[in-house]
Structure 1
Amino acid sequence: MAAKKQVVAKTNKRKRPNTETREAPSNSKVSKFVASKKHKPESAAKEKTKTPLTGRERRLHAKELANARKKKRKRHYSLEQELARLWEKMRRHEIAKEDRARLVTEALQKMKGKIAEIAGSHISSRVLQTCVKHCSQDERDVVFEELRPHFLTLAYNAYAVHLVKKMLDNASKKQLAGFISTLRGHVAPLLRHMVGSVVVEHAYELANAAQKQELLSELYSTELQLFKDLVSLKENRLLDVMSKLGLQKGSVLRHMTSVIRPILEKGIVDHSILHRVLLEYFSIADKLSVTDIIQQLSSPLIVRMIGTRDGAKIGILCVKYGKAKERKKIIKGLKGHIDKTAYHQYGCMVLVCILSVVDDTKLITKVIIHELQTTLKELVLDKNGRRPILQLLHPNSSRYFSPDDLASLNLSIPSLSLKDQSEASSLTEASKVSLGEKESKEDMEVEMDEVNKEKTSVDDSDLAESGKKDPFVRRQELLIKSGLADKLLDICIESVGELIRSNFGKEVLYEVATGGSDGIMHPTLDDKINSLHNAISSLAAMPKSEDSEEDHVLENFHSSRTIRKLILDCPNFASTLWEKALKGKSELWAHGHSCKVISAFLESPDPNVQNLVKKELQPLIDNGIMKNPKPKEQASQ
């Protein structure tokens, strides 16, 4: 029975047909499957035997794939590639003007109608800048008109902003006025943008006075933003505009605060239009608002602001009205930039203010004086670099500082000025006295207590405009104790010939030779000052030579006038010069520029100097070789 069951089981089992002998079924799907199974081993073998790609082939293949992706992603990719090839030819220096003009025209034809779309591209914006620079005026006008509706959009683009600036540089007066009119209502948002602020600043620099006022007035008040014709060119100061239009001070302050604060928080402080707005804000803002702004600016930000006229004024105001903590931040922020700042036309005035106001002379010596000493000779010979040194030698001299420079040093903020506050408090007391009959005694006592509190808060603050230390003591610490005067004397003695013939160096040499104003260098450095007198006298004692390329110091335009001034103002120098260089030779030098030097001895206010030379010069006067000049004191009387 068991055997039978096994037989039955074997007979019921399905036998697999032989795949080699059987035919494929008629079903097409099955036939395809079988065919794929047959050919799969052959394809795998082919892949295994295929040779690998070289490095160059892989790079070319990757480049093709990248170009294919860029074509899908960028609409004008092929056009940009064509423009780039043209640009490589037109930007060469050695290309002929005719060939460049042909290439520029060809590029502009290809871009026609698509300029606004491709202007924001890294490549196309560069091509457009070159085309705008070298194309004809008619072609430039066509580009301007095509871009005009899109200027605001392009002003926010990091690449297109350079094209917009180039268009403004080459724009006509009418086109510039049209561009500025498109900015109306968008000046404040653009100034808050890192890229857009560059466009506003560029337009502000190119604008005339009326257009500048148009841009500024939008930042003052919402009324002026909506109605630009309210302000005329005559009212260029914010206080004048407010008084004429009757604008409320509170609303103007709120609007200006909402404009200024976001800009300062983002650190966009490089632009002169913002510096102008800040100056106007200081003129009307209350004490708390101004101190907040000064605290924000008293950092490395101030270094980026002092490159403009108004920015330097803001720097001066921050130094004058900042507390000790803010002043310390400003000085430390200037560390490493002292040399560059001293050479700057406006930045040097911030250094002058620091040397005149800040009482922390140890910090100034460490940060400013030591850095100035490294390039002292170059600074003495520079028009702007000599000013901080001259401020220590002769403070606030109209001989070395223009009226504008002195006015900037005397700037004040009304809400923080001690003088203005004292005047305001005196007016308050006077008004209270006049109203005393109407008010009760208790009310008067309460108000007087408030006035006293205001006074104490002003007196106890660190807002000392000119510092609390005696100015002469401050100058001594910065000039003498720091070693600056000693090194200055060494440079003057070593380079006396170069400095005395220099237009700017001669003034520092004169102040050093006289010992500075108020005799600040006497008696500590008298020996070195006498050495300088001897060095100048040695130059004057050199024989007159016609073969020499340099003029003699007694005949040179700058040096002869410096020596004359020294004779009139420094009797010690006059006697040294006479004894060492001119005694017995006065007739030789009684002609030309040197004649003024000889005459200075007779004009000297010191009678000892006159008596020293009278015996030798009187015969020259009698013989008509020299005129008899009046002494300086008699001439002034």
Structure 2
Amino acid sequence: MAPTKVRGTKRAIAGDSESKKKLKLNKKQAAPAESDDVSSSEDVSSSEDELDSDSDDSLDQSSDSDDELDDNEDGSSKQEDDFVPLDAADEEGEEGENVDPNKKSSAEQHAEQKKLLQERKLQRKSGAEVQHIKSLWERLRVKSPKPPKDLREKLCEEIWKYSKDVIRDLVLKHDASRVVQTLIKYTTKERRDAIALALKSHYYELATSSYGKYLLVKMLHYGSKDTRDLIIDELHGKLRKLMRHREGAYVVEDLFVLYSTAEQKKQMIREFWGAEYAVFKDSGKGKSIQEVCEEAVEKRNLIAKNLAGTITASVEKGSTGFQTLHAAMKEYVQIINEEEAHEFIELLHEQFAELIHTPEGCEVACTLIARANAKERKQIVRALREHGLNLIKNEYGNLVVITLFLTVDDTVMVYKAFEPDFSEHISELVVDKYARRPFLYLLTGLDGRYFSPAVKKELQRYIDLSQTTSKKPLDHRRTELLEKFAPLFYKVIEENTADVLQENMGSQFVGEVFLNNAPTTDSQRDSAIAQLIDAFKGDLDDEDNLIFKPFSVRLLKSLIQCGKWDAKNKKLIKLDIHGLGEQFATQFYSEVIGEDLIKWVENKDTSFVVVSLYENLDAKSDVHKELLKNTKQVKKAATDDNKGAQLLLKLISS
């Protein structure tokens, strides 16, 4: 008698077997897709429609199989009523499973799918040419190892041979467009011009294409002046529409910033004035926007409306940072009335930080700050607060900070908004070419040594615009801000003296802090002076000594003299400042020079410091006594290359 097998119910066995079938089927269906994702180097994105149909077929097959597996042998629903031992279930599953001998493996399915995809690509328009061109492109674009020049030219010639008749079919597809981009990069000028002519009348389509825009930018970059002119002329009249387009805005930006002449830029901006200027290139040529608007009120209103519409649409689409848009805004702020100005501030106040990196954007921001009321300025300061460090270090952004200092009456708000960032990085800011300028304004006003005539003129314009919106006197605002920021200035001198004095700009800043008597307590000023003097201590044989910096000698001379040079009257104006002048000279001599006085005279770099000490100290001072006692050594040091010792000898002898 055969041994009895241990089995569960038929229902339980069927349910377990069907679960295994489903798991295997899912694995088979997943395998081709997973493999395709890893191994395929073809243009998947360009064949999405084709793959969709295959995917639908697979899903249908899966659905049919699932329907067949939903019911067990006796037609009842799947349910495990009894416990089934694992080994017994596996045995039953193997016995009951019907394997289709004609069913293809996942690898075979994938190969068939890939073959079908290739066949469909070849059936498309210019399909065979595209596939051959792409094979050549793979060789052309290799960077390591770089193909020889003659091979690269041969490949370019062959690609052009196959693509010149189908160029318009290539440029709007993402992979084929890259082929043409590479061709433009490596081919000859004549062939680039031929490509530009072949694509003539299609530049707008390229500018608005997700892939074509990159080709158009490449044509601008590598193309000749004639090619650029051809593109600009064809896009004329469409710039306002492109500026509102997600893809086209980038093309207009590159065209304006990188590839247009000054005259072409003016022409491009005039197009934003309205339809008349978009259709007729020479309309308004040679005239500023103010001159055109003065011709008729209706014309001003129409131009303002057109500019406002384009700007608003572009801002809402996230193009606020574009320099092209900043240039249009610059035109707009020159003609807006008070009501339009407030509406414009409301549109932009949260995005002011995106204006500061271009000269046009900076001018727009400063103009709006000057024309804003107290409430609007508060909104603007809040929007800029998080960008304080980038703002002050920017070539144009620092002028925005100065304009805030010039115009905003609420100095407490301005200080609290920017002090945290400025305080944390003050040692970097005072030696930065641009970041130090707002601080120098607080110390010196608009001094010509730090502000060019053009910058002073521009800042004065903002001061004039703010006459009706600001209440406090200009000097009063500057004094209030200086009182708040001065402790930071002395702090950086106390804590980072050596680092700051390593730079010419830092040395200048330190001199301005002391000579302009930035407000602080006598104890803090004395502490800063003591740290400055300590920074110059050291052996003169040490080449790294700060005294050998040429700007260090100028700083010491100015602090010893305690005066400012009046260039107009050509004389030194003496100042009465605690800790400077004779007091500083005596302290510096006793703590730094001392017994090394003759060494300082003999050194051509330091001898002028001794001259300054001799000129500004009393005749009964130790310096005078020592120099008179060592006149022979001074005479010996007065060589042709030591001008300071020569001058000192004349002073002693007189």
TM-score normalized with structure 1 length = 0.72
Flag the 1:54–1:214 CA change in 2: closer, same or farther, 3 A: same
| Mapping 1:113-262, distance limit 5 Å | 113-205=165-257, 206-233=259-286, 235=287, 237-242=288-293, 248-262=299-313
Deviations 1:121-168 (A, max 9, x none): 211222222221111111111111112221122111122112111111
Partner amino acid, structure 1, of 2:610: I
Partner-residue secondary structure (3-state), 1:148:
coil
CA distance in 1, matches of 2:619, 2:274: 67
Flag the 1:521–1:52 CA change in 2: closer, same or farther, 3 A: farther
Aligned partner of 2:607 in structure 1 is 595
1:303 shift after superposition: 1.7
Contact kept, 8 Å, 2:411 with 2:480, in 1: the verdict is: no
Contact kept, 8 Å, 1:188 with 1:219, in 2: the verdict is: yes
Partner amino acid, structure 2, of 1:368: F
Partner-residue secondary structure (3-state), 2:599:
coil
CA distance in 2, matches of 1:614, 1:588: 16
Counterpart selection for 2:157 from 105, 112, 116:
105
1:190 shift after superposition: 1.6
Contact kept, 8 Å, 1:321 with 1:464, in 2: the verdict is: no
Aligned partner of 1:282 in structure 2 is 333
Counterpart selection for 1:540 from 531, 536, 543:
536
Contact kept, 8 Å, 1:132 with 1:140, in 2: the verdict is: yes
CA distance in 2, matches of 1:78, 1:342: 58
Considering only aligned residues, what root-mean-square deviation do their CA atoms show, in Å?
Answer: 3.7
Partner-residue secondary structure (3-state), 1:588:
helix
1:488 shift after superposition: 2.0
Report whether the alignment pairs 1:556 with 2:609. Answer: no
Deviations 1:537-579 (A, max 9, x none): 334342221xx453x3333223222222332333243332222
Flag the 1:418–1:540 CA change in 2: closer, same or farther, 3 A: closer
Q: Which runs of 5+ in 2 are unaligned?
A: 1-95, 563-579, 639-644
Report whether the alignment pairs 1:316 with 2:366. Answer: yes
Greater relative contact order (CA < 8 Å, ≥ 6 in sequence): 1
Report whether the alignment pairs 1:489 with 2:504. Answer: no
Counterpart selection for 1:50 from 82, 93, 101:
101
Aligned partner of 2:641 in structure 1 is none
| Mapping 1:454-533, distance limit 5 Å | 470-480=477-487, 484-485=488-489, 487-493=491-497, 496=498, 498-512=499-513, 514=514, 517=516, 519-523=517-521, 526-533=522-529
CA distance in 2, matches of 1:145, 1:392: 58
Flag the 1:175–1:589 CA change in 2: closer, same or farther, 3 A: same
Aligned partner of 1:627 in structure 2 is 647
Partner amino acid, structure 1, of 2:460: N
Report whether the alignment pairs 1:338 with 2:342. Answer: no
CA distance in 1, matches of 2:560, 2:377: 42
Flag the 1:554–1:228 CA change in 2: closer, same or farther, 3 A: same
Flag the 1:467–1:106 CA change in 2: closer, same or farther, 3 A: farther
Size of the aligned set, in residue pairs, is 524
Partner-residue secondary structure (3-state), 2:523:
helix
CA distance in 1, matches of 2:619, 2:327: 54
Contact kept, 8 Å, 1:599 with 1:629, in 2: the verdict is: no
Aligned partner of 1:400 in structure 2 is 450
CA distance in 2, matches of 1:318, 1:418: 10
Contact kept, 8 Å, 2:185 with 2:218, in 1: the verdict is: yes
CA distance in 2, matches of 1:542, 1:520: 29
Relative to structure 2, which stretch is displaced further, 102-111 or 468-477? 468-477
1:391 shift after superposition: 3.9
Contact kept, 8 Å, 1:603 with 1:630, in 2: the verdict is: no
Contact kept, 8 Å, 1:567 with 1:601, in 2: the verdict is: yes
Counterpart selection for 1:352 from 394, 399, 402:
402
Aligned partner of 2:24 in structure 1 is none
CA distance in 2, matches of 1:156, 1:265: 18
Partner amino acid, structure 2, of 1:476: E
Aligned partner of 1:425 in structure 2 is none
Flag the 1:268–1:595 CA change in 2: closer, same or farther, 3 A: same
Deviations 1:409-455 (A, max 9, x none): 333498xx354xxxxxxxxxxxxxxxxxxxxxxxxxxxxxxxxxxxx
CA distance in 1, matches of 2:459, 2:436: 17
Contact kept, 8 Å, 1:320 with 1:466, in 2: the verdict is: no
CA distance in 1, matches of 2:200, 2:171: 12
1:293 shift after superposition: 0.9
CA distance in 2, matches of 1:105, 1:465: 72
CA distance in 1, matches of 2:412, 2:163: 63
Contact kept, 8 Å, 1:602 with 1:630, in 2: the verdict is: no
Report whether the alignment pairs 1:573 with 2:623. Answer: no
CA distance in 1, matches of 2:471, 2:267: 36
1:76 shift after superposition: 4.5
Percent identity over paired residues: 24
CA distance in 1, matches of 2:301, 2:406: 35
Counterpart selection for 2:420 from 370, 377, 382:
370
Report whether the alignment pairs 1:270 with 2:268. Answer: no
CA distance in 2, matches of 1:465, 1:125: 61
Report whether the alignment pairs 1:385 with 2:435. Answer: yes
1:463 shift after superposition: 5.6
CA distance in 2, matches of 1:83, 1:336: 51
CA distance in 2, matches of 1:170, 1:307: 26
Aligned partner of 1:24 in structure 2 is none
Deviations 1:492-526 (A, max 9, x none): 33xx1x322313222233334x1x73x33322xx3
1:283 shift after superposition: 1.7
Contact kept, 8 Å, 1:603 with 1:629, in 2: the verdict is: no
Flag the 1:315–1:100 CA change in 2: closer, same or farther, 3 A: same
1:314 shift after superposition: 1.6
Flag the 1:217–1:578 CA change in 2: closer, same or farther, 3 A: same
Q: Which runs of 5+ in 1 are unaligned?
A: 1-44, 420-457, 632-637
Flag the 1:245–1:365 CA change in 2: closer, same or farther, 3 A: closer
1:267 shift after superposition: 3.3
CA distance in 2, matches of 1:574, 1:82: 83
CA distance in 1, matches of 2:385, 2:619: 48
Partner amino acid, structure 1, of 2:479: F
Deviations 1:77-131 (A, max 9, x none): 5544444443333223221332333333322222212223321221122222222
